[in-house]
């Protein structure tokens, strides 16, 4: 056995977490070419050393399983891909792109990039599309999360600039969190909110969310509004403030325009008039308005709940209006704070890698901005034709207007709405390039050319977090195999393409970057004189000074924590604007055919499409399986018990999921987490149902809401397969192998879920449900796929009842189980595998049809504290014994490390006090 690594035996590299927009600093611990650990960076001003459950386990996703390690080319659709060298890969891509551009023009190709790329990657892709190819068809998956916030800031304040800082948390006397669940999605920011409340007990917290999330459960006032009624709510609040003299007329007169028109528009939106549509009482609306209007320093936060709407721009603007009406912006503790979902959504906006933007916060629609950038880049002109935004881009591919698409560092076949159409689009495309670190994403499966990219821990560059703070991302280890930095792949393709389209010299001049620092230096030049001026920054400066907030002009010694301190806004007249508001509710309203409101959101321990967190068994412990959550009254009304399989149908598609009861959703609503896709399920997950309708200004689709019908799926026949990876084994690798073998069979199942479990002894779990019993040969095909064939394993077969059972034993321990036709024992067998119970204790019970464990195995459990592996049952036991939070923490340690579980423990305590 290897000796444990001591600090002297590993190298430490400072970098940034690659998940949410909080932008926490991390210290990567590496030994040779392996990342072996991670710690929070105590010097980083975003997190001061703290990490959440996701950040704490970053090193566990730094694995080779599932990585793309060599360029893979598919010459003929339907045939497997084969490994090729980089030169052949890029030459082929250049040839295909050049031929399409030659025949159909530059707008026949497009790029779909990602908020997880570094600013340098974004910059090179953007230059490739616009300066070399001459198309504006480049958009980012940030379109799906932040574009409404961008549009709202620009419309009201004149610039895409978050005015606030994290340090404002400590000065606010009211926090309004709306359409966001930072307790799950930005946990370290929520820790800072908790700390601010602890320091100032007078600080009030209002949360606006259709669900009673962990964030909402902490609120002094929770407004569980009907999805889509945000503008009505904020208009009604403004009406109350006006009626009660809580607005700052002097500020409005001197620093804003458009107020009187807005006042006329919202005149009828009184609390009494909107209460029914909003689904909350007029009294609560009045209370929220008074608290906001009376606050000296109100700080409001929003995220996808406002942005992912067909009127996301109006949602954001309506919230910003509250700050403009009260003059609460630009000073400590106050302002409208949009939380970015991805680690570098902000950097992408700075580098202009979205269809309607250009580098340095320039606008494509502005002729001066285009001319200025053309001059900086040394090209005659930039293309004028607007580029296609995310939904439009895949629509254009579907309709054949875009024939070749290059997808980098994102998984649209999991994350876009109306996934059938996206899948069809990629099948129709003449040439699909996917550049990714992972070879096993839903999108990578459809690539004609898969290019291996470096990822977290292997990359050099910068990211910008939600508070405009630019941090360095550093490589601790080299990428595996032939994987390369993203910016370098884009550069090398540009050089190859230049040679094919008669622009070799131009390409060499445009892409003369030897390092990511060179790219950054050019990016800096595009910002000088702009609102985000970072003329004083470089990789070297950031290395010397640490993370800095923009603007940071040449000769500056520190960044800028707060914008608009002089109340001069970024519109030409220096005034902020109140804008007209769209008040349609949602793209789809429930009706007789689709009576439920489906809302989507995040889980605490998973990240986006799970391409990274989905490889870490312990991150399944908090929410072990995909499900749909319904209010208990809806379940009772329909006679559905927990775990009943339900079919959810929208106007686009149907999916099947087990149901879980939750009083966090209202009657008539359903909640499904966004994370689970086809790598975990036999269907595309919730985005098979979501609608691609989008906001007309921001073009952000309404991923948050759809109308659905829900009915029992009637799939009584069940199969469960479980397999232990052994002590410290790689369950993700087993799951990957299973998926490959099951894939040809999966489409035949009405429902299948493939998940991970365990910690020291990780395991893989497969659940299948069908209307009819599977034939014996089909069961055998699955048994072979999960490595539990008849030969060499214990078996039980009851032909009459269509029951087959298998058990695998290695080193006197149960390591695998297949239960087909009768899986009532699956929960305790799963616990037995996870606990490594010796076979002599279990042997005579393995095939028994009993629901309760015959021996003392740990009960099937949901883990609340991931840091110390503390289950909900263990916490409940302490609560029943009358223990207080400090006593529980003292005994179980839950909530004493990353703190991500604290909100849930507090909820459990407060629920027990109510009963």
Q: With respect to ligand SF4, which residue has the nearer C-beta, 54 or 666?
A: 54
In three-state secondary structure terms, 302 is strand
Among 27, 35, 52, 674, binds ligand SF4 (CB under 6 A): 52
Q: Does 616 bind ligand SF4 (CB under 6 A)?
A: no
- Alpha-carbon distance 695 to 360, whole Å? 24
Q: With respect to ligand SF4, which residue has the nearer C-beta, 570 or 673?
A: 673
**Contact (CB, 8 A) for 77 and 448:** yes
Among 10, 15, 17, 140, binds ligand SF4 (CB under 6 A): 17
Burial class (CB in 10 A: 0-12, 13-18, 19+), 42: exposed
CA distance readout (Å), 350 to 162, 282, 339, 363, 365: 12, 41, 16, 11, 16
* Part of the chain binding ligand SF4 (CB under 6 A), chosen from 50-58, 495-503, 656-664, 665-673: 50-58
Query: Shortest gap between Cβ of 145 and ligand SF4 (angstroms)?
Result: 14
Q: Does 51 bind ligand SF4 (CB under 6 A)?
A: yes
DSSP string for 526-538: HHTTSTT--TT--
* Part of the chain binding ligand SF4 (CB under 6 A), chosen from 45-53, 328-336, 766-774, 851-859: 45-53
CA angle, 35 then 36 then 37, to 5°: 105
Query: Shortest gap between Cβ of 443 and ligand SF4 (angstroms)?
Result: 22
* Part of the chain binding ligand SF4 (CB under 6 A), chosen from 182-190, 197-205, 224-232, 715-723: 182-190
Helical (H) or strand (E) element with 863: strand 863-865
Helical (H) or strand (E) element with 413: helix 412-415
Q: With respect to ligand SF4, which residue has the nearer C-beta, 133 or 346?
A: 346
* 224: its two tokens: 């569980």
Query: Shortest gap between Cβ of 51 and ligand SF4 (angstroms)?
Result: 4
Query: Shortest gap between Cβ of 390 and ligand SF4 (angstroms)?
Result: 23
Query: Shortest gap between Cβ of 689 and ligand SF4 (angstroms)?
Result: 27
Query: Shortest gap between Cβ of 339 and ligand SF4 (angstroms)?
Result: 10
**Contact (CB, 8 A) for 744 and 781:** no
* 156: its two tokens: 């009201």
Q: With respect to ligand SF4, which residue has the nearer C-beta, 195 or 276?
A: 195
**Which residues from 185-214 bind ligand SF4, rule CB under 6 A?**
186-188
DSSP conformational letter for 67: B
* Residues 554-585: b if buried by 16+ CB within 10 A, e if exposed: eebeebbbbbbeebebbbeeebbbbbebbbeb
Q: How many residues form the binding site for ligand SF4 (CB under 6 A)?
A: 14
**Which residues from 55-84 bind ligand SF4, rule CB under 6 A?**
55
Among 24, 393, 470, 719, binds ligand SF4 (CB under 6 A): 24
Among 15, 47, 586, 611, binds ligand SF4 (CB under 6 A): 47
Query: Shortest gap between Cβ of 379 and ligand SF4 (angstroms)?
Result: 37
* 873: its two tokens: 């049952």
- Alpha-carbon distance 862 to 106, whole Å? 52
Among 19, 111, 251, 620, binds ligand SF4 (CB under 6 A): 19
Query: Shortest gap between Cβ of 25 and ligand SF4 (angstroms)?
Result: 9
Q: How many C-beta neighbours within 10 Å does residue 910 have?
A: 11
Q: With respect to ligand SF4, which residue has the nearer C-beta, 175 or 497?
A: 175
* Part of the chain binding ligand SF4 (CB under 6 A), chosen from 49-57, 73-81, 639-647, 785-793: 49-57
* Part of the chain binding ligand SF4 (CB under 6 A), chosen from 19-27, 163-171, 382-390, 661-669: 19-27
Q: With respect to ligand SF4, which residue has the nearer C-beta, 51 or 325?
A: 51
In three-state secondary structure terms, 22 is coil
DSSP string for 305-321: HHHSSTTHHHHHHHHHH
Query: Shortest gap between Cβ of 41 and ligand SF4 (angstroms)?
Result: 10
**Contact (CB, 8 A) for 390 and 142:** no
Query: Shortest gap between Cβ of 185 and ligand SF4 (angstroms)?
Result: 8
Q: With respect to ligand SF4, which residue has the nearer C-beta, 17 or 278?
A: 17
Helical (H) or strand (E) element with 741: helix 731-746
Q: How many C-beta neighbours within 10 Å does residue 121 have?
A: 33
Q: Does 22 bind ligand SF4 (CB under 6 A)?
A: yes
Q: Does 54 bind ligand SF4 (CB under 6 A)?
A: yes
In three-state secondary structure terms, 691 is coil
Site string for ligand SF4, 337-376 (x = CB under 6 A): ----------------------------------------
* Part of the chain binding ligand SF4 (CB under 6 A), chosen from 18-26, 143-151, 415-423, 853-861: 18-26
Query: Shortest gap between Cβ of 513 and ligand SF4 (angstroms)?
Result: 28
Query: Shortest gap between Cβ of 589 and ligand SF4 (angstroms)?
Result: 35
Mapping DSSP onto H, E and C, the string for 476-500 reads CCCCCCCCECHHHHHHHHHHHHHHH
* Part of the chain binding ligand SF4 (CB under 6 A), chosen from 46-54, 65-73, 97-105, 470-478: 46-54
Query: Shortest gap between Cβ of 13 and ligand SF4 (angstroms)?
Result: 16
Chain position carrying tokens 């620093």: 255
**Contact (CB, 8 A) for 282 and 290:** no
Q: With respect to ligand SF4, which residue has the nearer C-beta, 228 or 614?
A: 614
Query: Beta strands of 310-390 (E only): which ranges?
Result: 335-338, 357-358, 362-363
**Which residues from 865-884 bind ligand SF4, rule CB under 6 A?**
none
* Helices within 72-115 (DSSP H only): 86-104
At residue 365, what are phi and psi to the nearest 5 degrees?
-75, -10
Residues 631, 634, 640, 645: is their CA dihedral positive or negative? negative
Q: With respect to ligand SF4, which residue has the nearer C-beta, 134 or 187?
A: 187
* Part of the chain binding ligand SF4 (CB under 6 A), chosen from 184-192, 272-280, 734-742, 859-867: 184-192
Residue nearest to ligand SF4 (CB): 55
Q: With respect to ligand SF4, which residue has the nearer C-beta, 20 or 306?
A: 20
Q: With respect to ligand SF4, which residue has the nearer C-beta, 466 or 804?
A: 466
Q: Does 469 bind ligand SF4 (CB under 6 A)?
A: no
* 548: its two tokens: 């800095």
Query: Beta strands of 574-714 (E only): which ranges?
Result: 576-577, 596-601, 628-630, 645-649, 654-661, 669-673, 705-712
CB half-sphere exposure, 813, CA atoms < 13 A: 16
Q: With respect to ligand SF4, which residue has the nearer C-beta, 648 or 674?
A: 674
Query: Shortest gap between Cβ of 203 and ligand SF4 (angstroms)?
Result: 21
Q: With respect to ligand SF4, which residue has the nearer C-beta, 22 or 857?
A: 22
Judged by phi (left if over 0) then psi (alpha if -120 to 50, else beta), residue 776 lies in alpha
- Of 721, 718, 720, 729, nearest to 836 by C-alpha is 729
Q: In the complex, which residues of this chain contact ligand SF4 (CB under 6 A)? A: 17, 19-20, 22-24, 47, 51-52, 54-55, 186-188
């Amino acid at each position: 056995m290897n000796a444990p690594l001591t600090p002297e035996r590993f190298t430490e590299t400072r970098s940034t977490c690659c998940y949410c927009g909080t932008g926490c600093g991390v210290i990567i611990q590496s030994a040779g070419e392996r990342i072996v650990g991670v710690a929070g960076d105590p010097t980083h001003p975003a997190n001061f050393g703290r990490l959440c459950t996701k950040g704490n386990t970053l090193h566990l996703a730094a694995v080779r399983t599932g990585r793309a390690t060599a360029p893979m080319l598919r010459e003929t659709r339907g045939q497997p891909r084969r490994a090729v060298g980089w030169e052949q890969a890029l030459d082929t891509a250049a040839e295909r792109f050049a031929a399409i551009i030659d025949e159909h023009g530059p707008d026949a190709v497009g790029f779909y990039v990602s908020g997880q790329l570094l600013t340098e990657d974004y910059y090179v892709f953007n230059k490739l599309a616009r300066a070399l190819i001459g198309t504006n068809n480049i958009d980012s998956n940030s379109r799906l999360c932040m574009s409404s916030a961008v549009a709202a800031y620009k419309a009201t304040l004149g610039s895409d600039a978050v005015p606030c800082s994290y340090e404002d948390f400590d000065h606010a006397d009211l926090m309004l969190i709306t359409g966001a669940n930072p307790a799950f999605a930005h946990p370290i920011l929520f820790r800072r909110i908790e700390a601010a409340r602890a320091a100032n007990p007078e600080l009030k917290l209002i949360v606006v969310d259709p669900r009673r999330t962990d964030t909402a459960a902490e609120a002094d006032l929770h407004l569980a509004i009907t999805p889509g009624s945000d503008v009505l709510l904020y208009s009604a609040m403004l009406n109350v403030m006006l009626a009660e003299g809580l607005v700052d007329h002097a500020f409005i007169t001197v620093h804003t325009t458009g107020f009187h028109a807005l006042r006329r528009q919202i005149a009828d939106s009184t609390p009494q008039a909107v209460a029914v549509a909003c689904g909350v009482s007029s009294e609560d609306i009045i209370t929220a308005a008074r608290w906001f209007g009376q606050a000296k320093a109100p700080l409001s936060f929003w995220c996808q709940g406002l942005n992912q709407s067909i009127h996301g721009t109006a949602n954001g603007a309506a919230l910003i209006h509250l700050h403009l009406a009260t003059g609460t912006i630009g000073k400590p503790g106050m302002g409208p704070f949009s939380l970015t979902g991805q680690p570098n959504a902000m950097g992408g906006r700075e580098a202009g890698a979205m269809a309607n933007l250009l580098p340095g916060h320039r606008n494509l629609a502005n002729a001066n901005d285009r001319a200025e950038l053309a001059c900086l880049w040394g090209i005659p002109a930039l293309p004028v034709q607007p580029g296609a935004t995310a939904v439009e881009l895949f629509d254009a591919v579907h309709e054949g207007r875009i024939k070749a698409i290059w997808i980098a560092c994102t998984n649209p076949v999991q994350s876009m709405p109306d996934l059938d159409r996206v899948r069809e689009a990629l099948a129709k495309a003449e040439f699909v390039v996917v550049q990714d670190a992972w070879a096993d994403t839903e999108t990578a499966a459809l690539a004609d050319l898969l290019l291996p990219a470096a990822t977290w821990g292997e990359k050099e560059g910068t990211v910008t977090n939600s508070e405009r703070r630019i941090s360095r991302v550093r490589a601790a280890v080299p990428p595996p195999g032939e994987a390369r930095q993203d910016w370098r792949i884009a550069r090398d393709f540009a050089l190859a393409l230049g040679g094919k389209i008669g622009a070799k010299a131009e390409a060499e001049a445009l892409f003369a970057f030897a390092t990511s620092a060179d790219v950054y230096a050019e990016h800096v030049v595009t910002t000088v004189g702009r609102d985000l001026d970072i003329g004083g920054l470089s990789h070297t400066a950031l290395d010397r000074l640490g993370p800095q907030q923009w603007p940071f002009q040449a000769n500056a010694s520190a960044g800028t924590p707060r914008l608009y301190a002089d109340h001069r806004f970024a519109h030409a007249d220096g005034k902020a604007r109140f804008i007209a508001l769209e008040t349609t509710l949602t793209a789809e309203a429930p009706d007789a055919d689709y009576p439920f409101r489906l809302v989507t959101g995040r889980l605490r321990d998973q990240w986006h499409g799970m391409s990274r967190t989905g490889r870490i068994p312990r991150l399944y412990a908090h929410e072990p399986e995909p499900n749909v959550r319904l209010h208990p009254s809806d379940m009772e009304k329909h006679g559905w018990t927990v775990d009943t399989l339900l079919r959810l149908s929208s106007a686009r598609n149907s999916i099947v999921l087990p149901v879980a009861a939750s009083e966090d959703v209202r009657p008539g609503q359903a909640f499904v987490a966004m994370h689970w896709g086809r790598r975990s399920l036999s269907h595309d997950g919730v985005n098979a149902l979501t609608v691609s309708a989008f906001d007309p200004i921001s073009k952000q689709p309404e991923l948050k809401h759809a109308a659905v019908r829900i009915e029992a799926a009637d799939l009584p026949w069940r199969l469960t397969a479980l397999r232990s990876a052994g002590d410290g084994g790689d369950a993700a690798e087993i799951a990957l192998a299973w998926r490959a073998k099951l894939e040809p069979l999966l489409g035949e199942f009405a429902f299948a879920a493939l998940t991970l479990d365990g910690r020291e002894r990780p395991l893989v779990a497969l659940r299948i449900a069908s209307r009819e019993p599977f034939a014996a040969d089909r069961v055998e095909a699955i048994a072979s796929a999960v490595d539990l064939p008849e030969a060499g394993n214990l078996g039980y077969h009851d032909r009459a009842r269509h029951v087959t059972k298998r058990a695998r034993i290695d080193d006197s321990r149960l390591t695998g189980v297949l239960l087909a036709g009768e899986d009532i024992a699956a929960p305790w067998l799963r616990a037995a595998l996870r606990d490594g119970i010796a076979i002599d204790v279990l042997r005579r019970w393995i095939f028994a049809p009993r629901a309760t464990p015959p021996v003392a195995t740990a009960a099937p459990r949901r883990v609340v504290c991931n840091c110390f592996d503390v289950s909900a049952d263990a916490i409940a036991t302490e609560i029943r014994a009358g223990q207080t939070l400090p006593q529980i923490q003292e005994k179980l340690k839950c909530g004493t490390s990353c703190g991500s579980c604290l909100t849930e423990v507090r909820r459990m305590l407060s629920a027990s006090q109510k009963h």
